[in-house]
Structure formats: structure tokens, C-alpha cells
Amino acid sequence: MELISLKNVSVNSKLLLLKELGYGSDGEFVLSANGEKAIDKYAEIPVRVNNMVILPGSTVILDNNEFSIASYLEEFGEDALG
Amino acid sequence: MPLDNPVSDITEGVTKGFLDWSIDKITSFLQKLENREIAFIEEQKTIDIVKEQYLSGESKFYGKYIKDKKFLFLARLGLALRKVEGDKERRGNLRDKIFKKYSVEGLHIAEFVENGILNRYVGILIEGLISIEKLEKDIEDILKNIEKYTLFVQWTSNKAEIVKRADIKVNSNSPKIFIVSGFKLAAQLVRDCTESFIIMLNDYELERFSTGDKEILFFKRKAL
């Protein structure tokens, strides 16, 4: 699996990517379709646009931290990230 | 949707020097995302840290002998904690998340692995190994009863309190192996208590693991 770094991607491109995925943003946080802050389902915290991870598997948007990534691997298998 | 009205701080000036993706590029990315060919991440180091721990020999070992999924996950998080040991912010962040989800007991399991206690404990078990099934059972037993069989010394404790707590744990639970651990400032406290432990636990023999900032005592019941 190829990992695309979001570090040097413009904010507008990130917002466009989120929009195409059915999400939005208030400029700081990722918003779900209903306008509420999208929550990292593992760490149970709101996801910031400048610290997000977008992973395959019904499109999982998470906060970029070791706990959430490890939780994702637990759910989708050790090989889920190639 | 707020996307239609990006907030004022998202200006061209802010994005200058950053990559701009066209809608075609993004559509192509989405197709690849759906096919599980790509993922997007702010900082690749996070995935690298986690993947490295999952692929490590120690993780594979635990994967083989720890059957309980929660315990195995906490063990792997412990390996991740070890990996980020020198990064105070990253380590603190991970510890907080483990604590929030799994409380102090879960954090202790992760720290048990982080500080190399579990792998040394397994070493002691292997010395008297009867069967693989027994090894698996004993590993699960220590993780399940970590608060009963282990004393995690805090730097804020005092010597009398530490010795008393150890006495209560040993007398209440009669562990085959009783562990006392202290890290950083607490390591010296453990060292200061060691003689008292030896006198108190006279039917146990001591195996000591000591480095500059870690002091781990394994008291093995002599009947073992």
C-alpha cells in the first residue's frame, strides 16, 4: 500500500479531498456529513484537519497517533497497511 | 457545509509552497483508496512506529503465546511505548490514550511490556517449562492479575509504604513470582527497599534487573 503524505499538501486540497469523501471542515476539525465533528472511533477524540489519517476500509478517518493506528491494525489485520 | 465557505485563515498565502491537487487527481486517489491501494497520513512516522512493533520478533512471540486479544493489543502498545521512549510528547500522548481506554490496569500491562518485565518474566517461566499450554496459561495469569502480582512503585511513595504494600500483596495473593518495579526516580526507592524485601520475602529468591533508571525485582517462590 502506498502512503500519501498530507504534510505538504495545501489545506484547500485537503478540504477538497474531505468533501469528495463526504466530509467537511470548520477549518480546524473534520466534520461528518451532519456537520458534527468527526470522531476518531478508537481514541474517541475529534479529528483535526492538520493531523488526520485517511485509511481504507469504509474510509476510516482517524487522528494521527500510534494508538489509533494500532487499533486499526487490530480491526483490519496486521497486513492492512501493507 | 462549511467547505463552501472556507474560513479566513485558509488563504492562498498559507498554502503557498504546498501541493495543490486537482479534482482529477483526487478522484484518482479515491479510486485507489477504495481499492485499498493507498492511504493518507499527516506523518508517516506514526505508521512506521506501529508497523515496526507489529513486525518485531517480540511482537510475533507475544502473538503466538498471548491468546487474549486485549492483552495482546496492550502488549503491542507497550512495544510502541518502548519505541517512543525518548520522545516525551509522543510517549505521553500514547500513555494517555491507553489509560483513557483501558484504565490503570491496562496501562500497567503496556508498561510491563515497555520496560522489558514481561520478556524477563517469560525467561523465568521458560527455565521451568513443562508445556507450551502452561506457558500460555502463566503469561495470561500474570497479565490478568498484574495488580496482584506486581508492585509498581511511584516516586511519590515512601519506603515504609512500599514495603507495607508489598507485604499485603504477597500475603493476600501468594504469587509464585512477585515483581517490584520502579523507573526513573522510583528506581532508587526500589533499591532502598530491596534489603527489607529480602528479609520479608524469605521464602522467595531474588532475581534482580537493574539499569541506571530501572530497578526490577523478581521474587521467585523457592518451591518453584
Q: How far apart are CA B101 and CA B55, in angstroms?
A: 24
pLDDT of residue B13 exceeding 60, the answer is no
The string of pLDDT tens digits covering residues B96-153 is 999 999 999 999 999 999 999 999 999 999 988 889 999 999 999 999 999 999 999 9
Q: Give the confidence band of B17 by pLDDT, cuts at 50, 70, 90.
A: low
Q: What is the DSSP letter of A38?
A: P
Residues 74-113 on B with a CB inside 8 Å of A are 76-77, 80, 84, 90, 93-94, 97-98, 100-101
Question: Which segments within chain B are labelled E, that is strand?
Answer: 38-41, 150-152, 177-183, 204-211, 214-221
The string of pLDDT tens digits covering residues B82-101 is 999 999 999 999 999 999 99
Q: Does A15 touch chain B (CB under 8 A)?
A: yes
SS3 for A75?
Answer: helix
**3-state SS of chain B: helix, strand, coil percent to 5?**
65, 15, 25
Sequence spans of domains, chain A: 11-76
pLDDT of residue B169: 97
Name all contacts of B62-65 with Cβ < 8 Å and 24+ positions apart: B62/B113, B62/B118, B65/B122, B65/B132, B65/B135, B65/B136, B65/B139
pLDDT of residue B15: 44
Q: Does B47 touch chain A (CB under 8 A)?
A: yes
Write out chain A residues lying below 8 Å of B80, CB-based.
Answer: 66, 70
B64, amino acid identity: K
- B94 closest CA partner among B65, B85, B5: B85
B166, amino acid identity: A
Q: Does A25 touch chain B (CB under 8 A)?
A: yes
pLDDT of residue B14: 46
Q: Give the confidence band of B9 by pLDDT, cuts at 50, 70, 90.
A: very low
A52-55 sheet: strands from edge to edge: A2-5, B38-41, A52-55, A60-63
The string of pLDDT tens digits covering residues A10-65 is 999 999 999 999 999 999 999 999 999 999 999 999 999 999 999 987 778 999 99
φ/ψ of residue B152, rounded to 5: -95, 105
User: For residue B132, how many other CB atoms are within 10 A of its CB?
Assistant: 10
B188 and B135 Cβ atoms separated by less than 8 Å: no
For residue A2, the cross-strand partners are: B38
The residue among B11, B22, B50 with the most chain A CBs within 10 A of its CB, best to mutate, is: B50
The string of pLDDT tens digits covering residues B20-63 is 999 999 999 999 999 999 999 999 999 999 999 999 999 999 99
pLDDT of residue A48: 97
User: For residue A32, how many other CB atoms are within 10 A of its CB?
Assistant: 14
CB contact under 8 A, B39 and A81: yes
Burial of B55 (0-12, 13-18, 19+ CB in 10 A): exposed
Give Cβ neighbours of residue B60 (< 8 Å, ≥ 6 apart).
none
Q: How far apart are CA B56 and CA B79, in angstroms?
A: 9
The predicted model scores a pTM of 0.88
pLDDT of residue A40: 96
B97, amino acid identity: K
Domains and CATH numbers, chain B: 22-144 (no CATH), 146-221 (3.30.110.20)
For A16, the closest of B23, B33, B40 (CB atoms) is: B23
pLDDT of residue B16: 53
The string of pLDDT tens digits covering residues B153-183 is 999 999 999 999 999 999 999 999 999 999 9
Which CA distances in Å does B150 have to A20, B12, B168, B187? Answer: 51, 57, 12, 15
For B20, the closest of A13, A35, A56 (CB atoms) is: A13
**Dihedral angle sign, alpha carbons of residues A46, B108, B53, B72:** negative
pLDDT of residue B212 exceeding 70, the answer is yes
Q: Does B32 touch chain A (CB under 8 A)?
A: yes
Q: How many helices (H) and strands (E) does chain A have?
A: 2, 5
pLDDT of residue B7: 40
